[in-house]
Structure 1
Amino acid sequence: MTQEPWFLSRPATHRPLSASQPPGQDPAPLDNDGDRSLYGVVLPLAATSVLVLAALLVLLLLLARRRKSADDGSGPSIVVYPSARSGGPQFLTKEIRFSLPSLRQAASLSDLGPNASDPESDMDTDSLVPVSSGHAQRSNSFSCYGLGAIDPALYHGTLDLEEDLQFPEGHLGRLWFSLRYEPSTEKLLVSLLKAKNLPSRTVASANACDPFVRLQLFPDERRHLQSRQKKKTCNPYFDETFVLQVPSKEVGDHVLKLSVVDSGRSKRRGVIGHVTFPLSDLPADSEQQLFKMDLEKEPTEKTSDLGELLVSLLYNENLHRLSVTVMAARRLKFQDERQDSYVRVTLNQQYRTVKVKRTSAVKGTDSPSYSECFNFRVPLAHVDVTSVGLHVHQAVSGYGRDKLIGKCVLGSYMFARGKALSQWNTAFTSPMQPVQHWHALCE
């Protein structure tokens, strides 16, 4: 009969005290089966604890080695996939060096950038010449047209930028700008570069000027574009590009006007001067052309040799009614001794005559008084496309045709300029208030 193994033996149980055993005497000792069962539980637990401690020790060693390699400055390893000969992946560390190329310097355009030796140079404005700096230069140029930075090759032989600037007495300033027309897209690109020698508001101050440039396209452009304002400088740098839509068939009929305005001169923003450039003088090729032109004063209105006409405007915004009163005329130039005249008034919308009215004829004087009022319906939505034409005629007796002495046009920016435009705008911005002006007659 075989003996049962020790780890399968039953644990010993306590035996109760027998009645014959005297009190105070120890019970009989247990057998060895209880000790063997205790060893079977403790030994596996001890082995498992040793394995766990060993694994933790290995993990701590790996972490310490990785931290030491990071402190030494070595970067992360690059994994190189094994070839057919090698058995496993290889880990290599390699330093990659690179350098950024330097930006292009436009040395030939030193006249465009602010000069450090020039005490009147505007150091707060953005430079047109790109320099190697940590930040990018700001520009409003259209990158799709390649007008961001000034390229000297585009202006080769067009303008000498290194010349000595000589300004005569009473000079209003000089403006640099470039033009390019693209027939494929029918776009005119105007790049404002800079202005120099602008007059200062205060005689004792050198940079008391806050200029900006206003762009207008004559004759049918109703709105204008405007550059950013430069503070406290008589030599501003703009570096801005504007796009104007001009049909190819009408390029030669337009004139570009650039007006330099000092916003701090008065509340009405006094105009320093302007330059005009007929687009018919623009070369046919699509290359960009650089120009410099001196500013000129706006020509003063001269007294017409044909005579003058006094007109009053009044607008009723509730009834949408424009009242045109032909009051009087003076110094009319008649073609013969007969001095009989009348005024024909026409209401036009988008160059199309809508209504025609006329005054009574006044005889025997070159300074007649008409004093007649005509009412026209003009909604506010149609103000910008409406004009009023006044034609002074010499009345001819018999069956002859009346002769035109002169005319004037009152209307929006699309049709009128000067006093005619100012009176028109004032009448609609100040309704129910009559506004009257003398207007010189033209042929």
Structure 2
Amino acid sequence: MSTVKPSSSTRPKPEASSLRAATSRPVTIISTTYASTNTTLNPVAATIVDFFNNLLDQIPLPRWAIYTIFAAGVLLILLCCLCVCIKCCCRGNKKKRQQKKDEKISMKGVNGKTTTALVQPDVGDVDYGSTRKYRGKLLYSLEYNAATSELMVGIKQADSLKAMDLGKSSDPYVKVYIVPDKIKTCETKVFKNTLNPGFNEQFNFQISKASLLKSTVVMQVFDFNRFTKHNIIGELRVQLGNVDWNHVIEEWQDLAEPAKFEEENLGEICFSLRYVPTAGKLTVVILEAKNLKSMDVGGSSDPYVKVQLALDKRKWKKRKTSIKKKTLNPYYNESFTFDVSFEQIQRVNLVISVWDHDTVTRNDAIGKIYLGCDSAGNQLRHWADMLSNPRRPVAQWHSLLSAEQVNSTLALKKKIPLPSKLPF
């Protein structure tokens, strides 16, 4: 029996099959080995990653938005921690500084024999900056002419005055008088919206050398208010007996708190003025008064107002209001019209006086004030405002002065003679 050997074309080649097996097997083994290695080495990490992946998949936002929100939250937490740390550090430094300060201030064992105790003032004598109010300073001058018995008081200027208005400014003017007589009161012009006014005004007072040595000149700086009480900023008091009159005195002094021992409040009055040049009509409306001085025993008064015109320093025309019973704050709103030509208005003085009516005895003058082209201070300002605003009423409050002061300053003569008695 013959044996047939397979040919080379039909028999598989062992080398090729073994090579293919060898080539494909390592790939399968390597991939299986890596998978088994990752699963067996980090099971906890894989669990956490899967948890977070599932959690992120449940949030209805894209991954980039979730990562941005997470980063912002982490940054915010870091900033909060940083702020807390800074605050704690600052608090610690502050405590250390306070402890050092207390150690420096603490002077244990100090007694009356030490230098510190000798120069240290008492607590009551310390003028603390928080309680002291700086009111500004005033430049004034004093000169006395013995030949004419005349004292000349110059109000030059003020500087760094205390602001009294809401706009951090003031409307200052200066009132000058001499005590104890106080027979004359002078006022400077009002300067609007300034804390450094330049007054450059001089006032003359007739006073003997004997009275001069016992007198004191008072210079008070006020803040002007048209419809309310004028606020005092500060004052200077110069005792004339201590002044060297061999030369002119000119110096700056800080304003002090005003003294109140010789102040006599007579009250205030509000009235309006209106002048029509074409018609020659002067209208005075007495509106009201307040805080009048009590003249009756019961602590009240029965006030009325007298309106008087003086032409060329002579009494000319007068009218008066009704009487308000038992009040110190009367309200009138009464109008009076006078015929005053434009030529006469330059020579007219308006005298407003408040009187207390008495049925049995003589009426008493509570206070007085006068306006005109030769007046001063607030009175001159009111009169000038009336002339510069024709046909328009201008109202203003005024502080009443004593009748003696106004009479001595105005120095009215006898009533103007009647036309029938004129020497023609």
TM-score by length of 1: 0.38
TM-score by length of 2: 0.40
- Considering Cα pairs closer than 8 Å and 6+ residues apart, tell me whether 1 or 2 has the greater RCO: 2
